[in-house]
Structure formats: structure tokens, C-alpha cells
Structure 1
Amino acid sequence: MVGSSHDLLESLVKYDPPNEGQDLAASGPLSTKGRSKLPPVEKAPQLTQIDEILNAILPPREVDGEDGKSQLQYVSAQPSTRLDVINLQEQLDQRLQYRQARETGICPIREELYAQTFDELIREVTIDCPERGLLLLRVRDEIRMTIAAYQTLYESSVAFGTRKSLQAEQGKAGLEPKIGGLETEKRDLERQGAGGQLKNGKNGKKKFQ
């Protein structure tokens, strides 16, 4: 079932309703929750730590409340069912189609939607098994660093190609006067050669006569 246009623009990550009694000014900086220190994978987190792990993996986001004040919305700690996973897949397909994401090649829209889907899967796995969620977090961060490295390499290559192209254009502009002079000299030599051939031809005819 296709949702409204507003629903199709919402994040695929499941969040709790905004804290109506807690505005952003009263809760402090937005990034405070996201700086929680994650426990090592070898140490099994306690149930009371799951919320902290989720908030560290997926920091709360800032939303506008009905009264116009900015409020914090935390990621949901509610476990997901098999039906939720099926709905997630359907919502992903709907958003890819609605936002006209390209099926192949580089597409920021497709990248964004798949990143949201992966974050939602990390959320679901973390609630069920925090250790597995922390491992998935490491995989996600490694993928992001790899993509960022390739983007930097691509941008450097484009910049290098642009500089070389400009240098070639500048060098070509500097050679144009010399090329023009050589072409003029070539035409003069061709005329001199043609005149010499004509003169030699006339002298040869006189000798035979």
C-alpha cells in the first residue's frame, strides 16, 4: 500500500514520538547523547544499556513540535517483527520509485535510502543482540570510510584532469603565433618551389630547341 507523499519522504529508521515535554533548549546540545561511549563487543551490554547503545549508534534528531519549538526524537527501542521487516522492504521499494532513484550507476537518492535501511536493520539487530549490532556498526562505518575515500580520490582525479586540460589550453594558446608563422613560412616555401620548378621547366625546353 502506497503511503502519502509526506510518509514517502520520512526516514526509514523507526523513531519514537518526539518528547513533548522536553524541548531542545532544555535538553542541552543535540550531540550529547550521541557521544555515549560504546561498550566493547567482548563485554555483553546490560539491558539498561540498549537505549544508550541505540542513541550512540543512531543519535536523536531535531524536529519541530506543534508549538514551533525544536524537540528531540530518539530512535525507537521497540523490537521488530517479521511483518515489520516485510514492511521495511516494501517501503524501500516505494521510496526508490517515488523519488525516481536510478537503478544503476551513482545515485545519491538510492545511496541515502539504502543507508537508512541499513541503519534500521542495525537498530533491529541491536535490540535483539547488542553485540551483533555493534559489529554491524563497525561494518557500516568502514563502508562509509571506504566510500568517502573513493569520493576523495574521484574528486582529486577530476581536479587533476581539469588542471591538465587548462595547462594544455594555455600551452596551445602560446603556440598559436608560432604555428601561424610556420604556416606562413611553409606557404612561402611552397610558392618559391613552384616558381623554381616552372623556371627549370622553361630552361629545359629552350635546351631541346
Structure 2
Amino acid sequence: MHSAKTCVGKARETGICPIREELYSQCFDELIRQVTIICAERGLLLLRVRDEIRMTICAYQSLYESSIAFGMRKALQAEQRRNQHNKKMKDLQVANKKLRDEVEELENKITQIEKHEAERREQEERKHKEEVESLKKLNAQRKEQLEAMLQAPKK
């Protein structure tokens, strides 16, 4: 044990200080000893008070340590959830980009197909027009031939 003077110099005046706690404990034990000499019942009562205080302090320490552990667990869980959410967010962003690229690719295909179909339709229309013109000419020739045959001199 330290001498009382050296311990008093090292003890902090505020906050949790094991040295101050030990000094107070020694002082209280000495008071209990002195009171017990004068009156055994009072000494026993002070002894019970001291033991009750120690149990209460132990309970508070245990509760404090438990709450620190609980807080650390919750902080770690929150960090874990944050990491999971960040990973999920990155995965979703990648999936979103892939889908956007796919949409762009499909839109390009649609544009190409529409362009190709427009050209094909235009070609078919030209072919159809040429065919109609050809049939009109053929029809006109046959009509002329028929009229010529009808106007031929009768014998």
C-alpha cells in the first residue's frame, strides 16, 4: 500500500479515480472500525451500508460495461448494414447501367428495323407503281387493239 500523502497527491479531484476511491474506502473502513468500538450495532449497520454501496457500485459497473458492449454491437451492426446497403446500391447501379445499355441497344435496333422497313416499303411501292404502270400500258394497248378490231371494215 502507498502512504496516504503520496496517494493524496496522485488522486484526481473529479471524475472516476481509483486512487481516490481506495482512499475513501480506507477512510470509511477506519470510521467503521472506530464506530464499532464505541457501538457494535452502529458499526454493523455501517458495515452493511458499506457492503450495499459496494454491491451498488459493482452493479453500476456491470451495467456500464454491458451498455458499452451493447453500444459497440449496435455500432458494428449499423456499420455492417451500411456496408451491405452500399454494396447493394453499387450492385443496383451496375444492374441499372446494364439495363440502360440494353434499352439503348434495343432502341438502336428499333431505329435500324424501322429504317430498313421504310426502305423495303418504299421499294415495294416503287415496284407496285411500276407494275401498275406496266399493266395500264398493257391495258391501253389491248384497248387500242380491241377498238381497232371493232372498227375494222365489215365485209
Q: Same fold (TM over 0.5)?
A: yes
Q: Which amino acid aligns with 1:157?
A: S
Give 1:104 shift: 0.8
**How far apart are the structure 1 equivalents of 2:33 and 2:89?**
67
- What per-residue deviation string (whole Å, max 9, x for no partner) do you get for residues 87-138 of structure 1? xxxx4x65221xx211111111111111111001111111122121111101
Determine helix, strand or coil for the equivalent of 1:103: coil
Runs of 4+ in 1 over 6 A off after TM superposition: none
TM-score (norm 2): 0.55
- Give the conservation status (yes or no) of the 8 Å contact 2:7–2:19: no
- What per-residue deviation string (whole Å, max 9, x for no partner) do you get for residues 8-50 of structure 1? 715xxxxxxxxxxxxxxxxxxxxxxxxxxxxxxxxxxxxxxxx
2:43 to 133, 136, 147: 133
Q: Which amino acid aligns with 2:83?
A: A
**CA distance 1:136–1:155, change in 2 (3 Å):** same
**How far apart are the structure 1 equivalents of 2:18 and 2:78?**
33
- 2:71 equivalent to 1:124: no
Structure 1 partner of 2:17: 107
Relative contact order, higher structure (CA 8 A, sep 6+):
1
**How far apart are the structure 2 equivalents of 1:107 and 1:182?**
53
- 2:2 equivalent to 1:9: yes
Determine helix, strand or coil for the equivalent of 2:12: coil
Structure 2 partner of 1:48: none
**CA distance 1:174–1:9, change in 2 (3 Å):** same
Q: Which amino acid aligns with 1:121?
A: L
TM-score (norm 1): 0.42
Determine helix, strand or coil for the equivalent of 1:126: helix
Q: Which has the higher helix share?
A: 2
Structure 1 partner of 2:141: none
Q: Which amino acid aligns with 1:167?
A: Q
Structure 2 partner of 1:96: 8
Q: Which amino acid aligns with 2:55?
A: M
* Consecutive unaligned residues in structure 2, runs of 5 or more: 101-155
* Consecutive unaligned residues in structure 1, runs of 5 or more: 1-7, 11-90, 190-209
